[in-house]
A and B are shown apart, each in its own frame.
Chain A
Amino acid sequence: MEAASLPAALELAAGGGAGLSPEKRAVLGASLLLLQRDYRFERVWFWGCIQGVRGSYYIAEGLGPDRAAPRSRLYSLNCVEWSLLPPVTEEMVAQAEQLKGRFQGDPSFEYEHIEINAEDAERLFEDGKEPTIKEEARLVATIEQIDRAVGIIPRGAFVKTPLGSVHENRNFEGLSLTEAKKLSSYFHFTKPFNLKNKTLLEKADLDPSTDFLDSLEHDIPQGSWTVQLEKGDTVVVLRSLLWLGLTFYHVPVTKQYGYIYFGTGEKNFDLPFML
């Protein structure tokens, strides 16, 4: 969620019982602004908090002029001092996917690879590296996975310019109440996979400037999002069941929207059994 609207946003996304203490809220207002100054970000998003066993990581993302470009991610243990995380690579994501269990809360903790395929082991041993992965790498890989899988925005909130870069849509006035209850009004804010697979009939209705992302309608497994109206039907809250802890809120007919993650950073592999 936008750093500027953090206090109001936290109130709206607090339906799940997770939030920030007054101390953290107060310090974030200042430290996120300083992040923006130091790293020359155009926008700073407070991404959320991953709870480890011994401590929590608070994550912020910084966006540049093209909002769809890979984002810089920073973490902090106390919301005061932030450290930049290394950019994520596919290898990191693949390694992190094999790790199970909670985060420890210590960024320099090293996990030892328990399960390695034969091929991976050869590759790793060839490089002379030992099969360990640092918690920092796991952290950034998990953030990337979560963003890819469940980072969502309302339809029309961002537009793609003819030059290919993505900006906020200044004409976005919010979704209407009926639209806000449909899953098709929300998009994954990441590289689209299914756009080309749509039927011609569907493609005819699309507006290429706003419909350049995948919508949530065809997410697998079906039903992995819960759509609820909270606070007396004034806020639409989407919660992901695949990554428990991700909450997206939107106040219909206004420009307020955002998502935040409060959780343990573990994918819910039991989802098909639980539905």
Chain B
Amino acid sequence: MYQSDAARLDPYQTQEPQSAYQTYAVGRDPYQAYERAHGPYQSREPGYGLHQPGHSPYDDQIPDPKSRMLAIQNAKAYLLKSSTTSGLNLYDHLANMLTKILDEQPTNAVDIIENISKDVKWAQFQKKMDTLRDEHEILPTFEAAEKRKALFLKANGGGDEELEEEIGETPLPNVMETAFYFEQAGIGLSKDESYHIFLALKKLISVQPIQTCRFWGKILGLEMNYIIAEVQYHEGEEEEETEDEEVIEEGGKKRGEVEDKDEEKEKEDEPPKSTYKPPPVIPKEENGTGANKYVYFVCNEPGKPWVKLPPVMPAQIVCARKIKKFFTGRLDAPVVSFPPFPGNEANYLRAQIARISAGTHISPIGFYQFAEEEGDEEEEGGAGRDTYEENPDFQPLSVVEMVDSLTTWVHHVQNILKQGRCVWLNPFQKSEEEEEDEEEEKAEEPDELQQEIGPPLLTPLSEDEGIQNIPAWTAQPSTNLIPQYAVAILQSNRWPGAYAFASGKKFDNIYFGWGHKYSPENHTPALPPPVQAEYPSGPEITETRDPTLEEELAFKAAKEEALAAAEEDDDEEDVEDDEEEDDD
């Protein structure tokens, strides 16, 4: 009763679903075609009874074609029954599924058939249940894209005048060129990001009065990263940071007021004043010199506004050497550490930038030279020169020479001394003037500090100490295959992430990293200071145990007895006196 048409391709087994599609479209019974595919099954196999030619549920009911048609219609009606829970029916679902499969034609569809079925059902639901129109989702990505697009818009107003200014000498560094050289060594950000930084720097320059500008590098953080620009202001246009100084002065005044109050209270009994004098605060270097030679601007992402970092204080550098903390990415985040860092993350970032610059900013020898001034060395008392200028007669060395030995590179940033400054300052010179007024209160004389001397400016890298057995720098050419156009690349091992390149007359430094120094040993935080000693016992003041309750009561009782005895005596005397008076 079932036509076995061998010529008809079987839809289930064939690799060409088109024929099945056509079979379906033509209107031949899919049920029939589907079921014809399999041979006789054993009764215990799964699927038994479902599509057995001789054992289908309708077998005994379908003797002739008319009844068969009825059976087929019954089957189709069954398939068309809507589900009570979802409103779908199997017929439509299978139809949609097969349509989707035939449209997309994934490989090995049979393996992912369940997933396809799920996907089709999902799609159904979304269309049916939504009576509201979807509002276009405002993703946060759109806002970020807006900011980035803003970078690319040319500033309005000015027009021709601005063009002239731009084409002339501009402090804007050629970020893409530097990125190209570093890319030869595999260092650097993606080209997109470099270009965005380029434009962000351009924006910075248009806003601030900047003389020189450089892309210093990128420091990674926990929540956000920092992109750092190193700038120098035009001379005379610098905004003096008077805020910090005012704060310090006010603090001093407050201390003065407190002291006055103390003096008033001296008349009352007071515990002995502590003779502890905090070590004098070392003043920061002037803006434009030493560790504060450059001003740094940071932003989290190109497109966001640039924030100026405050100048660095020696105390911050000294503390930053002792702690090791990740940056969070928010400049106002507190730095929780021991020893407590005097400042927030902006100060810590500035201190680390200062340390990295001092440790890793290098240039080919001869590029910078000292400005020729006579008689300088003796006058400065061995403090060393701190200014340099570009050498107009610079002859670049070949890449091979630059890579082979480290004497061909020099530091052009002053070394930071232990004190936290580049130029040593004796903090007690000032305080001696103050102490003249308070001679009486001089308790101890401070120890004389040794003048700290660091390596002078423009020292070659060969003087850099390595760490254990690792040299301080690793030098490599960018490529061994094409030495004619290779670039000399130096990586710092002391500050992992600091790189420098030199190629002909061009060179640059950059930093990409987390902002920490390398140490082969694990970081051990400073231990808290030892517990302070107690007040020494002496003949004047000794410590004794407090009397216990019994002792106190006994003492009280004894005292009362003594009083009572004394009163009795007095009474007796009075009585005697009275008696005497009476007698008289």
Contact, CB under 8 Å: B188 / A19:
yes
Contacts of A232 in B (CB 8 A): 141, 144-145, 147-148, 301, 303
Contacts of B523 in A (CB 8 A): 270, 273-274
Contacts of A37 in B (CB 8 A): none
B129 at interface, CB cutoff 8 A: no
Contact, CB under 8 Å: A20 / B186:
yes
Identity of the chain A residue whose Cβ is nearest the Cβ of B143 in the assembled complex? A233
* Chain A: minimal CB distance from B508 (Å): 14
* Chain B: minimal CB distance from A79 (Å): 11
B584 at interface, CB cutoff 8 A: no
For chain B, residues 188 to 220, give those with C-beta under 8 angstroms from any C-beta of chain A: 188-193, 217-218, 220
Contacts of A196 in B (CB 8 A): none
Binds B, one of A21-29, A117-125, A137-145: A21-29
* Residue among A20, A170, A273 making CB contact with B112, cutoff 8 Å: A170
B57 at interface, CB cutoff 8 A: no
B504 at interface, CB cutoff 8 A: no
Complex Cα distance, B478 from A19, in Å, reads 13
* Residue among A223, A234, A275 making CB contact with B141, cutoff 8 Å: A234
Contact, CB under 8 Å: A239 / B190:
no
* Chain B: minimal CB distance from A218 (Å): 19
A14 at interface, CB cutoff 8 A: yes
Contact, CB under 8 Å: A274 / B513:
no
Identify whether the interface residues of A are mostly helix, strand, loop, or mixed: loop
* Chain A: minimal CB distance from B213 (Å): 20
* Chain A: minimal CB distance from B461 (Å): 15
A164 at interface, CB cutoff 8 A: no
Given A14-B188, A231-B192; A21-B326 close (CB under 8 Å): no
Identify whether the interface residues of B are mostly helix, strand, loop, or mixed: loop
Identity of the chain B residue whose Cβ is nearest the Cβ of A15 in the assembled complex? B189
Identity of the chain A residue whose Cβ is nearest the Cβ of B185 in the assembled complex? A21
A101 at interface, CB cutoff 8 A: yes
For chain A, residues 44 to 89, give those with C-beta under 8 angstroms from any C-beta of chain B: 51, 53-54, 78
In this complex, the member of A17, A54, A228, A233 whose beta carbon has the largest number of chain B beta carbons within 10 angstroms is: A17
Contact, CB under 8 Å: B185 / A15:
no
B512 at interface, CB cutoff 8 A: yes
Identity of the chain A residue whose Cβ is nearest the Cβ of B338 in the assembled complex? A273
Give the number of chain B interface residues (Cβ < 8 Å).
Answer: 56
Contacts of A15 in B (CB 8 A): 189-190, 193, 220, 225
Contacts of A53 in B (CB 8 A): 470-471, 474, 493
* Chain A: minimal CB distance from B104 (Å): 12
Contact, CB under 8 Å: B324 / A273:
yes
Complex Cα distance, B2 from A94, in Å, reads 71
Complex Cα distance, B479 from A264, in Å, reads 20
Contact, CB under 8 Å: B220 / A239:
yes
Contact, CB under 8 Å: A231 / B193:
yes
* Chain B: minimal CB distance from A266 (Å): 8
A152 at interface, CB cutoff 8 A: no
Contact with A along B509-552 (1 / 0, CB 8 A): 00011101000111101000000000000000000000000000
Contact, CB under 8 Å: B144 / A14:
no
Complex Cα distance, B513 from A232, in Å, reads 20
Contact with A along B300-333 (1 / 0, CB 8 A): 0101000000000000000000001110000000
Contact with B along A184-228 (1 / 0, CB 8 A): 000000000000000000000000000000000000000100101
* Chain B: minimal CB distance from A274 (Å): 5
Contact, CB under 8 Å: A22 / B184:
yes
Contacts of B17 in A (CB 8 A): none
B153 at interface, CB cutoff 8 A: no
B481 at interface, CB cutoff 8 A: yes
Contacts of B326 in A (CB 8 A): 241, 274-275
* Residue among B224, B512, B521 making CB contact with A228, cutoff 8 Å: B224
Contacts of B516 in A (CB 8 A): 274
Contacts of B236 in A (CB 8 A): none
Contacts of B480 in A (CB 8 A): 78
Complex Cα distance, B192 from A7, in Å, reads 14
B334 at interface, CB cutoff 8 A: no
Contacts of B325 in A (CB 8 A): 273-275
* Chain B: minimal CB distance from A46 (Å): 13
B264 at interface, CB cutoff 8 A: no
Contact, CB under 8 Å: A17 / B218:
yes
Contact with B along A249-275 (1 / 0, CB 8 A): 000000000000000100001100111
* Chain A: minimal CB distance from B340 (Å): 14
* Residue among A10, A21, A230 making CB contact with B479, cutoff 8 Å: A21
Contacts of B481 in A (CB 8 A): 23
Given contacts A226-B223, A233-B139, A273-B523, 9 further A-B contacts (CB under 8 A): A14-B193, A16-B513, A23-B184, A23-B481, A51-B491, A53-B471, A101-B470, A233-B141, A233-B144
